[in-house]
Amino acid sequence: MGRRIIIDTDPGQDDALAILLALASEQALEVAGITTVAGNVQVEQTTVNALRICQLAGRDDLPVHAGCAAPLMRPLHTAEFICGSDGLAGMALPAPRRRANPGHAVNFIVDTLLASDRPLTLCALGPLTNIAMALRLAPGIAGTIDRLVIMGGARDLGNITAAAEFNTFVDPHAAAIVFDAGIPITLFPLSATYQAVASPARLTGFDGSGPVQAQILSMLRRERPGGASLGGGEGHPMHDPCVIAWLLWPDLFEGRDCRVDVETTEGPTVGRTTIDWWGRSGQAPNAHVVGQLDADAMFLRMADAVRTLDVAPTPIRQVT
Ligand code: RIB
Ligand code: CA
């Protein structure tokens, strides 16, 4: 019985690879459901994209619940200039055969956590709006979450502004609530995830022989519209797959426990995470922050994993 997880996401190409990796790893990960949030694109589109990605993996049975359409306090900022108008530039996925499951994502998170016979891991791949709302709606869920694994924040330079990483920039108030909730956190800031660049050499493991790998290769080889200015150099940085890869292969990662704070004041540093890497604050750590990772090994293992979705595709599972 693998680790039970919920993936909260704003697909987004890197979210797509993270979701496919999780769905390809059924021995290790039991995905209880996918919840979508506004981020890379509007929540209507991130929800359609989550359905399209599940459909590609033959998982029309998987619960997908639409979540918050806007951050808690700030206006929504999206990133079509990076991910394309539909959020999945480079992928040619058909429209989903099904609609999202009824019920808001926040209620799905709360209900699933409270009903579960074992603690769950929440994988946060987008702005933290849904998770913060769930904590406000039902504070008692904090005791049912064994860990929050989050892609977000920046130890050094930001990507959407000089100061802030996109997910914490979009909803800094939600991030502040989550980081102060006392839940065990593993955090992947940009200084870690920009090591996971999908360079041509790291794509050799994907053979493109089946529909899943073909879509992944197409997505990873797409032109970088505005992305070149956001770092990553010779390829698209695979921020979100680091979250799932850490759950599967923690030996590929190194980090340290740090205090993390989020700037919520409007201004040039809004959304900035202050990551106390050298422990200068004297404050108790609230997150395990990943510093280094073996990206070459990560890409090889990801390619091996997602190949199973092509080699032995699971029969399309419909909602029973
Ligand atoms: O800053 C990178 C993060 O913002 C990734 O999760 C990407 O998908 C976007 O959500
Ligand atoms: Ca994302």
Average pLDDT, the chain: 95
Please determine, for residue 316, whether its predicted confidence score (pLDDT) is greater than 70. no
Task: With respect to residue 318, please indicate whether it lies within any of the assigned structural domains.
Answer: no
Residue 226 banded pLDDT, cuts 50, 70, 90: low
Please determine, for residue 208, whether its predicted confidence score (pLDDT) is greater than 90. no
Q: pLDDT tens digit string along 284-302?
A: 999 999 999 999 999 999 9
The CATH number that applies at residue 20 is: 3.90.245.10
Q: Please report the DSSP string for 297-316 in residue order.
A: HHHHHHHHHHHHHHHSPPPP
Please determine, for residue 76, whether its predicted confidence score (pLDDT) is greater than 70. yes
Residues with CB under 5 A from ligand 2 (ion): 10, 12, 15, 125-126, 240
Least confident stretch, 103-112, 202-211, 249-258, 306-315: 306-315
Q: Please, what is the Cα angle at 118 between 116 and 122, to 5 degrees?
A: 80
The percent of residues above 90 in pLDDT, for the chain, comes to 91
The answer to whether the beta carbons of residues 154 and 269 sit under 8 Å apart is: no
Pocket of ligand 1 from Cβ distances under 6 Å = 10, 12, 14-15, 39-40, 125-126, 151, 159, 165-167, 239-240
Task: With respect to residue 319, please indicate whether it lies within any of the assigned structural domains.
Answer: no
Range 48-58 average pLDDT: 98
Looking at residue 224, its pLDDT comes to 74
Range 70-75 average pLDDT: 98
Q: pLDDT tens digit string along 94-116?
A: 999 999 999 999 999 999 999 99
Range 204-219 average pLDDT: 94
Q: pLDDT tens digit string along 35-51?
A: 999 999 999 999 999 99
Q: pLDDT tens digit string along 118-170?
A: 999 999 999 999 999 999 999 999 999 999 999 999 999 999 999 999 999 99
**C-alpha–C-alpha distance, residues 209 and 307, integer Å:** 9
Task: With respect to residue 320, please indicate whether it lies within any of the assigned structural domains.
Answer: no
- Give the Å distance between the CA of 319 and the centre of ligand 1: 30
Nearest to 176 by CA among 248, 92, 71: 71
For residue 194, the one-letter residue type is Y
Q: Please, what is the Cα angle at 121 between 117 and 126, to 5 degrees?
A: 140
Q: Residue 87: how many CB atoms within 10 A of its CB?
A: 26
Task: With respect to residue 317, please indicate whether it lies within any of the assigned structural domains.
Answer: no
Please enumerate in sequence order all residues whose Cβ is within 8 A of that of 65, keeping only pairs 6 or more positions apart, or say none: 33, 34, 35, 36, 100, 101, 103, 104, 105, 107, 108
Number of domains composing the chain: 1
Residue 144 domain boundaries:
3-311
Task: With respect to residue 316, please indicate whether it lies within any of the assigned structural domains.
Answer: no
Nearest to 126 by CA among 85, 170, 90: 170
* Residue minimizing CA distance to atom 2 of ligand 1: 166
The answer to whether the beta carbons of residues 76 and 70 sit under 8 Å apart is: yes
- Give the Å distance between the CA of 306 and the centre of ligand 2: 19
* Residue minimizing CA distance to atom 8 of ligand 1: 12
Looking at residue 163, its pLDDT comes to 98
Please determine, for residue 229, whether its predicted confidence score (pLDDT) is greater than 80. no
User: Cα separations (Å) of 274 from 226, 258, 260, 281?
Assistant: 26, 10, 6, 10
Task: With respect to residue 72, please indicate whether it lies within any of the assigned structural domains.
Answer: yes
Q: Which residues are catalytic?
A: 239
**C-alpha–C-alpha distance, residues 81 and 276, integer Å:** 31
